[in-house]
């Protein structure tokens, strides 16, 4: 009896794609390989949502931006230069779209911020809840509160370099500026955040200092 072999199966193609590195997947996707593109989306969604969330400060909006990021990736694959890291290229798209989103929504955020200032109770509660090991969601909330006045670039530089811990060369490529500019953004962001943290959450940091 002749041996039958399954020539093509979607699952098998997905399994094969899962073993391939990002750059190779991007090259295949650029050639029209839909499975390679799907694998990239599945693989990179957590990182893209995470960076978008940190810059934008809202999980639902970060998910919407993540979708736009992958649409932009699909549209721009022809321009992807495989000499460079796919991750850096993807982060650049994600950061730029998050910054655009932030700019477009700054006025709305300001209105939201004004409301927040009226409701000081929640901030007090945050201080009360604070322990020496803050939950990641609490830290995210704290960052969203204190980073509202940073410029988009300062915020992006701080998120990429300080929170995500990326190499400064990569951050410079992502933001499309020099490393010294990244350092400046980071320095100014840190100064502004320190001031705000000490001013708005004094007891939180007094508690740290005492111990």
Site residues for other proteins per CB under 8 A? 38, 41-42, 45-46, 49-50, 53, 63, 66-67, 70-71, 74, 132-137, 139-140, 142-143, 158, 161-163, 165, 167-168, 183, 186-187, 190, 193-194, 197-198, 201, 204-205, 208-209, 211
Measured between alpha carbons, how far is 49 from 83 in angstroms, rounded to an integer? Answer: 25
Which positions ≥6 away from 109 have C-beta within 8 Å? 57, 102, 148
Structure tokens at 115: 């409301």
Nearest approach, Cβ of 23 to other proteins (angstroms)? 20
Q: In terms of CB distance, is 3 or 32 closer to other proteins?
A: 32
Nearest approach, Cβ of 92 to other proteins (angstroms)? 18
Q: In terms of CB distance, is 84 or 208 closer to other proteins?
A: 208
Structure tokens at 100: 């655009």
Rounded to 10°, the helix 121-129/136-146 angle is: 140
Nearest approach, Cβ of 53 to other proteins (angstroms)? 7
User: DSSP readout, 8-46?
Assistant: --HHHHHHHHHTS-HHHHHHHHHTT-HHHHHHHHHHHHH
Q: In terms of CB distance, is 3 or 210 closer to other proteins?
A: 210
Tokens 């200032």 -> residue: 117
Nearest approach, Cβ of 177 to other proteins (angstroms)? 14
Q: In terms of CB distance, is 118 or 128 closer to other proteins?
A: 128
């Amino acid at each position: 009896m002749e041996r039958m072999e399954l020539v093509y199966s979607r699952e098998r193609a997905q399994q094969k794609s899962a073993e391939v590195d990002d750059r190779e997947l991007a090259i295949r996707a650029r050639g029209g390989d839909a499975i390679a593109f799907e694998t990239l989306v599945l693989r990179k969604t957590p990182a893209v949502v995470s960076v978008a969330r940190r810059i934008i400060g809202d999980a639902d909006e970060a998910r919407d931006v993540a979708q736009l990021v992958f649409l932009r990736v699909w549209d721009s694959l022809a321009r992807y230069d495989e000499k460079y890291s796919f991750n850096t290229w993807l982060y650049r798209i994600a950061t730029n779209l998050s910054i655009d989103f932030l700019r477009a929504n700054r006025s709305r955020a300001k209105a939201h911020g004004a409301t927040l200032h009226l409701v000081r109770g929640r901030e007090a509660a945050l201080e009360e809840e604070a322990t020496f090991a803050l939950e990641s969601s609490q830290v995210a909330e704290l960052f969203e509160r204190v980073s509202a006045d940073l410029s988009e670039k300062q915020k992006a530089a701080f998120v990429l370099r300080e929170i995500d811990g990326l190499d400064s060369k990569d951050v410079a490529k992502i933001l499309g500026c020099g490393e010294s500019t990244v350092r400046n953004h980071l320095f100014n962001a840190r100064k502004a955040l320190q001031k705000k943290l000490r001013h708005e959450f004094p007891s939180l940091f007094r508690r740290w200092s005492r111990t």
